[in-house]
Amino acid sequence: MAEDTDDNVLLSAAGTDTFKAATKYIAGSGHHALPILTQADGTDAITPLLASLNTVATACGSLATLFSAALNINGDLQTVLTDASGSPVDPTAAGPVIGGTQADSPLAFAPVTEGGLAKTANPIAVSDGDVVNALHDKLGKRISIPALREVKAIQTTTITGTSETTIVTAGGSGVFADLYRLIITNTSATAVTATIKDATAGTTRYVFAVPAAATVGFSADAGSAAKQSAANNNWTATVSGSVTSIVITAETVANI
């Protein structure tokens, strides 16, 4: 080992090329850093790397800042993430997730599979607002329902007169009580009609002919519920004649 006239340290070993190692002072940093290697014939092997580092360092203010950011708590080198322009990216900051294949293009890479919990019984419920795993059956089919159990409601009302009667109470401020199942049973020997509105004295939504000793109505899943026109309103029924009883069961889902 020896030094040349530029105060660089020459390293050599039998049967190998000789390399020259040096340290460069980073202006304003107060430190020597970045070992520089060149081959014995003088070919510079580090300049292209320096050019790239300077591009990245521009966003940091200096190479010293860049190298300081590239060291972890133990002083070891760590990976520095950069964007397409070469500027460092904060790995803790939110950013887009981009796939490897554009839309309407053949699949270029192996897809990332999506998984979840395979269950044969309900898992333990989490608290409101907590992160929860997706639920699947044992074959991987996704388990989904049109609406949460907690936002469904059922209400039964018996009507004997002809006055407009509430069959679904208002859902509260900003809440639509959308109707997805309605069952009307006439226990009397007299046929009647039942007029259904989505607010007291509101717009008529349905008119059912209800024969004597018969049951009529409709049923859909909660995702196909009849929309209530305005939030925080009731649903009502008006029967055409006084009878022994008209029993109406209404099932709703709360939407906002």
- 221 or 45, greater pLDDT: 221
What is the SS3 assignment for 58?
Answer: helix
Q: Which of 10-19, 63-72, 90-99 has the highest mean pLDDT?
A: 90-99
- 73 or 41, greater pLDDT: 41
Which ranges in 110-243 belong to alpha helices (H)?
Answer: none
CA nearest to 162, candidates 87, 93, 240, 47: 240
pLDDT in the model for residue 125 = 86
- Domains of the chain in sequence order: 2-69 (no CATH), 149-255 (2.60.120)
- Stated pTM of the model: 0.58
- 2 or 91, greater pLDDT: 91
Contact between 165 and 159 (Cβ < 8 Å)? yes
Contact between 29 and 62 (Cβ < 8 Å)? yes
* Residue 104 Cα distances to 30, 108, 109, 113, angstroms: 54, 11, 14, 19
Residue type, 167: I
188-198 pLDDT per residue, tens = 999 999 999 99
**Residue 39, pLDDT above cutoff 70:** no
Tell me the pLDDT of the chain averaged across its residues: 78
- 14 or 176, greater pLDDT: 176
pLDDT in the model for residue 20 = 41
Neighbouring-strand partners of residue 11 = 19
Contacts of 235 (CB under 8 A, 6+ apart): 166, 167, 168, 177, 179, 196, 197, 198, 199, 228, 250, 252
Q: In what order do the strands lie in the sheet with 192-197?
A: 165-168, 235-239, 192-197, 204-210
What residue has token string 């904060």?
Answer: 90
Neighbouring-strand partners of residue 155 = 250
